[in-house]
Amino acid sequence: MRHVKLNDVIERINFKTFISFVVLKTIPLFWIPAHTITFMLPENYRVLMAAYLSIALGIILTVSKSIGMKKQIVQ
């Protein structure tokens, strides 16, 4: 079993991409409106919408990772 140190994880985080993409773009432009719509739905449909949002999260993370990898290759 491999032990991962917190300092190693923090050193590998690309904070520029995190702040510019996740904090400044996805939260105000996607997550806040998506959750507003979700909680406006009837209770029966909220779980279904949450499932769709989890799929969207996977797609967003995949896209952001590929964008970050392309920027690393270019540099």
Tell me the pLDDT tens digit for each residue of 1-34: 788 898 988 888 888 888 887 889 888 998 899 9
Q: Where are the beta strands (DSSP E) in 1-75?
A: none
Query: What three-state secondary structure class fits 35?
Result: helix
Does this model's pTM top 0.85? My answer is no
Mean pLDDT of the chain: 86
Tell me the pLDDT tens digit for each residue of 49-65: 999 999 988 888 888 77
Check residue 37 and give its pLDDT: 94
User: What's at 16, amino acid-wise?
Assistant: K
Structure tokens belonging to residue 36: 């507003």
Can you tell me the distance from the alpha carbon of 13 to that of 65, in angstroms, rounded to the nearest whole number?
11
